[in-house]
Amino acid sequence: MISVMAGVHRSNAARCAALALLAACSGGGGGSSSSPQPSRAPTPAPTVSTAPTWEPGTYPASSTLANRCERPRTGVDLEGNPFPDRAGSLAYEKFWLRSWTHETYLWANEVPDRNPANYASPVAYFDTLKTTATTPSGTPKDDFHFSQPTEDYLRDRNSAPAASYGARLAVIDPYPPREVRVVYTDPGTPAAPVLARGDRILSVDGEDLVYGGETEAALDTINDGLFPRAAGETHVFEVQDTEGRKRSVTITSANLSEAPVNTVRVLDRDGGKVGYLLLNTFSPYATEAALADAVQTLADEAVSDLVLDLRYNGGGLLAIASQLSHMIAGPAYTRGQTFEQLRFNTGVGGTNPITGGHNDPVPFFAEGLGFSYDDGAVLPVLNLRRVYILTTEATCSASEAVINGLRGVDFEVELIGSTTCGKPYGFYPEDNCGQTYYTIQFQGVNDKGFGDYADGFAPTESFDGFAVSVPGCSVADDYTYPLGDPRERMLAAALQRRETGACPGLTMAKAAAPAWTRGAVQSGPPLIPRRAPLADERDMRLPGGRL
């Protein structure tokens, strides 16, 4: 059923997004949605008439410096939008970075005002425009600061579906003896019938993956096979299953989009039915409908508990994370509550400095938003009292927002696994003169105003003294059994926790540590995955190497 008017749970945040359109209607310029436009139809802003000069502590409006380029682009970008560039200089580009950082960077007051003239390029200057503070664990507070050519940014975000086999691979050890294993396969893909979780890849097109790759050409053979460039490529792999049996498989790549919901299962257990939901991303718009369908399936089965497997989920859309949280907890917990509030730098008050709109909280959305599930259609709910969430260091961003958002309304969350990545931050990528910059601009906080989990969330039983402690069990990932199999170590621990209140022994957590964490000697050329948005475990990692 479609509601004609906004539903009762429809948010101010949605209205905020619509307000951005009205800004365009009134000629106000600025962003046209809650996500910025990499190349907006240009609305020329007043420009400074002379090359900018450095006056410490004085920051011209970034709008007066934007798109004044040393090498202006002409024509349209990959999405058909005209480039907004005008003649300028490297000085303009660096001064734009300086003012934009001052206006929007979350920790702008921790950035020293350095003279842009002392830096050879905008990118070199940008690298300095961040805080050098550290988290309690000693890691950099801002480990998410980077840029990339805008052409790459646009290509990446428009590349789905991409050539793949439909298998996610983990490069557990890139050095000989190399270890590459199958993490999971997506249902209905070329990999699904021939590869299984835990399979170790021994060779690619006859090239020894474990000890070979001594030449550049040999490494290329391995990479080309693991990460196909185009649909229709056929490669031959020798693989070894978790019981040591070897076999040869031939797979042809296809253009695929990652399946957000990989597995939905109902487990009959003592004390009632337990739902298991493996959700690997919040990014594709198809996630919204896939999640609603999955939750409806679990609701139809009247599950009394849920194990939500986010161990490989690097995040995506906060709105869908909000919807999932509502579908788990139900209106008794979520009605009228805040899922997440975006906290910007201290200088912007109640305004979102990127969109220019009100910084309204993200509610727990109780209805479809139109990504792929009908706008205004009521979402199914499970009305549970607790959720067991399976986590690893790959559990990041919007996935962590689920944990934090639910805890913010006193919904019981149990973590089973290991410490999450610790990214309560976000950004709106911004193009200037052909380079897209990512600078942390907001921190998400829950209904209680909490969002300080830069060192991640960890089960209470873990030894991670810096992460935010959440009730649960410390358990390592387990490639021995398929995901969703009650014997699989993390799921088994969740079921045990549910049924007995106890955790399995900690020795289990150390048994499956990847080779490189055990201090393996690294010799020989490393295997460096070239690109595999669907097929390797690096798809949500930042270029800096951190999730």
Phi, psi of 56 (to 5 degrees): -50, 130
Residue 6 or 502 with smaller CB distance to other proteins? 6
- 8 A C-beta contact, residue 325 and residue 304: no
Stretch that binds other proteins, among 17-25, 134-142, 246-254, 302-310 (CB under 8 A): 17-25
By CB under 8 A, tell whether 375 contacts other proteins. yes
Stretch that binds other proteins, among 21-29, 170-178, 208-216, 382-390 (CB under 8 A): 21-29
Token pair for residue 247? 């076999």
Strands 305-309 and 272-279: parallel
| CB atoms inside a 10 Å sphere around CB 510 | 11
Please give the C-alpha separations between residue 176 and each of 173, 274, 479, in angstroms, as whole numbers: 8, 42, 20
d(CA 210, CA 224): 16
**Per-position x/- string for 418-457, each x denoting binding to other proteins as judged by CB under 8 A, each - no binding:** -----xxxxx-x--------x---x-x-------------
Cis ω before 177 (30° cut-off from 0): yes
| CB atoms inside a 10 Å sphere around CB 343 | 18
CB-based contacts of 433: which residues, under 8 Å, 6+ apart?
Answer: 67, 68, 69, 70, 71, 72, 73, 85, 88, 93, 122
By CB under 8 A, tell whether 530 contacts other proteins. no
Residue 49 or 158 with smaller CB distance to other proteins? 158
Token pair for residue 443? 């921190």
CB of 182 to other proteins, least distance (A): 21
Residue 156 or 205 with smaller CB distance to other proteins? 156
CB of 299 to other proteins, least distance (A): 21
By CB under 8 A, tell whether 13 contacts other proteins. yes
Binding residue (CB under 8 A) for other proteins from 398, 409, 468, 476: 398
Token pair for residue 454? 């830069």
Binding residue (CB under 8 A) for other proteins from 371, 450, 466, 516: 371
Strands 86-87 and 457-459: unpaired
Query: Residue 47 has what DSSP assignment?
Result: -
Stretch that binds other proteins, among 48-56, 236-244, 372-380, 516-524 (CB under 8 A): 372-380
Binding residue (CB under 8 A) for other proteins from 88, 176, 314, 330: 314
* CB-count exposure of residue 309 (10 Å: 0-12, 13-18, 19+): buried
d(CA 426, CA 466): 21
Stretch that binds other proteins, among 76-84, 103-111, 225-233, 263-271 (CB under 8 A): 76-84
Binding residue (CB under 8 A) for other proteins from 170, 369, 491, 503: 369
Angle at 467 between CA 415 and CA 514, to 5 degrees: 70
Residue 203 or 352 with smaller CB distance to other proteins? 352
Binding residue (CB under 8 A) for other proteins from 9, 17, 222, 473: 17
Binding residue (CB under 8 A) for other proteins from 362, 366, 382, 468: 362
Which residue, among 209, 190, 198, 197, has the nearest Cα to 249 in the 3D structure? 190
**Per-position x/- string for 185-214, each x denoting binding to other proteins as judged by CB under 8 A, each - no binding:** ------------------------------
Which residue, among 222, 303, 423, has the nearest Cα to 294 in the 3D structure? 303
Binding residue (CB under 8 A) for other proteins from 55, 79, 214, 220: 79
By CB under 8 A, tell whether 24 contacts other proteins. yes
Strands 207-208 and 234-240: unpaired
- Tell me how long the chain is: 547
Q: Which of residues 109-128 bind other proteins (CB under 8 A)?
A: none
d(CA 457, CA 403): 8
**Per-position x/- string for 315-344, each x denoting binding to other proteins as judged by CB under 8 A, each - no binding:** xxxxx----------------------x--
Stretch that binds other proteins, among 73-81, 239-247, 383-391, 482-490 (CB under 8 A): 73-81
Stretch that binds other proteins, among 6-14, 135-143, 235-243, 496-504 (CB under 8 A): 6-14
Q: How many CA atoms lie within 13 A of 135 on its CB side?
A: 19
Which parts of 99-193 are beta strand (E)?
146-149, 162-164, 167-173, 179-185
CB of 106 to other proteins, least distance (A): 12
Q: What is the DSSP string of 253-265?
A: -EEE---SEEEEE
CB of 279 to other proteins, least distance (A): 14
Stretch that binds other proteins, among 11-19, 47-55, 86-94, 126-134 (CB under 8 A): 11-19
**Per-position x/- string for 340-359, each x denoting binding to other proteins as judged by CB under 8 A, each - no binding:** --x-----------------
**Per-position x/- string for 29-48, each x denoting binding to other proteins as judged by CB under 8 A, each - no binding:** ---xxxx-xx-xx-x-----
CB-based contacts of 542: which residues, under 8 Å, 6+ apart?
Answer: 143, 144, 146, 438
**Per-position x/- string for 258-287, each x denoting binding to other proteins as judged by CB under 8 A, each - no binding:** -------------------------x-x--
By CB under 8 A, tell whether 14 contacts other proteins. yes
Residue 149 or 206 with smaller CB distance to other proteins? 149
- Which residues in 523-535 are b (16+ Cβ under 10 Å) and which e? eebebebeebbbb
Stretch that binds other proteins, among 27-35, 119-127, 300-308, 405-413 (CB under 8 A): 27-35
By CB under 8 A, tell whether 80 contacts other proteins. yes
Strands 468-470 and 457-459: parallel
Residue 263 or 352 with smaller CB distance to other proteins? 352
